[in-house]
Structure 1
Amino acid sequence: MREISLDRLRTLVAIADRGSFADAARALHLAPPTVSLHIAELEDRIGAPLLSRKRGHVRPSAIGELLVERARRLLADAEQALDDVHRQVQGLAGRVRLGASTGAIAHLLPQALDVLRQQHPAIDIQIAVLTSHETLSRLADGTLDVGLVALPQSPVAGLTIKPWRRDPVMAFMPAHWPCPARITPEWLAAQPLILNDTTTRLSRLTAEWFATGGHHPAPRIQLNYNDAIKSLVAAGYGAALLPHEANTPLPDRRIVMRALRPALWRRLGVAHRAGYIELSTQHVLDVLWDLRSG
């Protein structure tokens, strides 16, 4: 079954509005035979007359009136769709799909979202809570536009991964614990521990840090939600190793933070597809880049 062209529908609406083939041709910048051909093709497709001529004036038939009514909606929808796409091409609006871990979403993204709300209020940011592996997979298959991932990462064909932030990993402990000024693997391995689960990059980093002192402690519990870990630390359940982002609030008074010896850093990168970048996505990347740290 042949589709109906929007150009043919536009011609029909122009004739209905102006009551004349000649006036419609002038309004559409078409030759009169082209206008006649458009109507002939539409009538052939519909299988019924769409226009009637009375006293030199052209009017839609009953079937023509129905088609004109529907054509106006279709043409308006098409115009709106083109306008929406054009605004996205210009970076004035659009949708950007972003993947990140719970830690980044809780402590880093709110700053970026606040700036984007002020500077680009028509950009819709859709956030998915994902591991770094999931983020890179979805970027590669086109279902994400931007990702915040733990570093290092192996190169992925078609993706660009750039270093973004480096934040210190700190020891978070119940405030009532007596503890040294700097925390070593030897001291912390002897304490009850609350650690990230083994699916996370932070789990591997902390395991390597303990291993520098020859320790492989078994935690009391493993979680993949840093705020829940901090709540357990505040309750006195154990100590944790977590990144501390600059400008984020300090934990509550039931928690103390101590630097590690040797120092440990959590590194994050920004990932996106290589090649053409939509302006709305570029706006998000620019704001994220302003949040980078040394």
Structure 2
Amino acid sequence: MAMDVTLRQLRAYVAVLECASFSEAAKAMHLSQAALSGLIKELEARVGVRLLDRTTRKVSASSVGETFAPMARRVLANLDEALDNLTNLKELRRGLVRVAAPETLSCTLLPELIAGYGAHHPGVDVRFDDVPIQEVVAGLQNGSTDIGFGPAGVVPDQSVEVHIICADPLWVALRSDDPLARGTSVGWKDLRERTLLNYMPNIAINILSQVPPRNHPKQLLPVNRVNTALSMLRVRQGAVICPSMAEPLVRGFGLTFLPLLQPAVKWKIAMFVRHSASLSPAVESFRDFTLAFSQSGAAGGIRRERRKRM
């Protein structure tokens, strides 16, 4: 049968043992001696046994009290530890954020975003998965991912908040021996006769819907990863469309990278956050940091800053 023992009673009991005096324990707890004595009497009445031996000279634990004392201390220590952990989570000295994004963002935007957040909150563990966009969406829906990133046109469902964080111009990767690589930009109509090595899901809805049908590429060769598309482009003619922030990745394959114009189309990047009545402080702070990062223009300026360093 459970007893209505309070933490205040346990703290009073432990304080008396540590001070070996009712008066000193009362001072330590900022109570009157009568109030402290009342707490001890309530505790002994509720457990049904005497826990303290009192004499005119000292106070000590009874035989039962000696057995009970370490258990009482353990209860109070566990509570203090739990409260400390809660404070650490609230003040972002600890915490966990599970983030996922597809490959293109994993090697462009996300490293700088996560590094920037980590500099402000080094105690928060940001666990990152670079997975296809379908797995990003699945993780958000099943709860294994807190925050995801991907094309804005990929709308998971109503259980997920969508925040547009930047709109990056689309560029085109070409082999250096492609005649189009000699110019300073490429028009959509110039790509019509070239095979488009495409890794982007829903390209017809998200991108080609913004281009006149007469300028659509005649042939699309679908692949799953941007690295696969760029690797294939190294050994065959064609083109790969990427957001401009992917320039370091494209250059790493020894390819030419040029603005794609007529029309200029932007790739909208979104942050997806699981709807929750009580997001953890760490997840909330990462969401807010990302929004501030995007509003400062940092997200859209990654490619420009990297070009300065190249």
Residue 280 (structure 1) aligns with: 285
Q: 1:243 deviation in Å?
A: 1.3
Structure 1 residue identity aligned to 2:194: Q
Gaps of 5+ in 1: none
Is the alpha carbon distance of 1:108 and 1:253 closer, same or farther for their aligned partners in structure 2, counting shifts above 3 Å? Answer: closer
Is 1:28 the counterpart of 2:35? The answer is: no
Residue 18 (structure 1) aligns with: 19
Give yes or no for contact 2:166–2:294 (8 Å, CA) kept in 1: no
Q: Secondary structure at the match of 1:219?
A: strand
Q: Secondary structure at the match of 1:245?
A: helix
Q: Deviations over 1:102-133 (max 9, x none)?
A: 32222112112222333332232233556778
Residue 299 (structure 2) aligns with: 292
Q: 1:210 deviation in Å?
A: 6.5
Is the alpha carbon distance of 1:202 and 1:219 closer, same or farther for their aligned partners in structure 2, counting shifts above 3 Å? Answer: closer
CA distance in 2, matches of 1:267, 1:74: 53
Give yes or no for contact 1:175–1:253 (8 Å, CA) kept in 2: no
CA distance in 2, matches of 1:113, 1:126: 10
Structure 1 vs Structure 2 CA RMSD: 4.1
Instruction: Give TM-score scaled by structure 2 length.
Output: 0.71
Q: Deviations over 1:27-83 (max 9, x none)?
A: 223344554454455456656543333564222245433433243343333333323
User: 1:156-171 residue pairs with structure 2 within 5 A?
Assistant: 161-171=162-172
Q: 1:207 deviation in Å?
A: 4.2
Is the alpha carbon distance of 1:167 and 1:17 closer, same or farther for their aligned partners in structure 2, counting shifts above 3 Å? Answer: same
Residue 119 (structure 1) aligns with: 120
Worse-matched range after superposition: 283-292 or 115-124: 283-292
Tell me the matched-pair count: 291
Give yes or no for contact 2:101–2:132 (8 Å, CA) kept in 1: yes
Higher helix fraction: Structure 1 or Structure 2?
2
Identity, in percent, stands at 23
CA distance in 2, matches of 1:244, 1:250: 10
Instruction: Give TM-score scaled by structure 1 length.
Output: 0.74
CA distance in 2, matches of 1:247, 1:258: 9
Is the alpha carbon distance of 1:246 and 1:77 closer, same or farther for their aligned partners in structure 2, counting shifts above 3 Å? Answer: same
Is the alpha carbon distance of 1:176 and 1:122 closer, same or farther for their aligned partners in structure 2, counting shifts above 3 Å? Answer: same
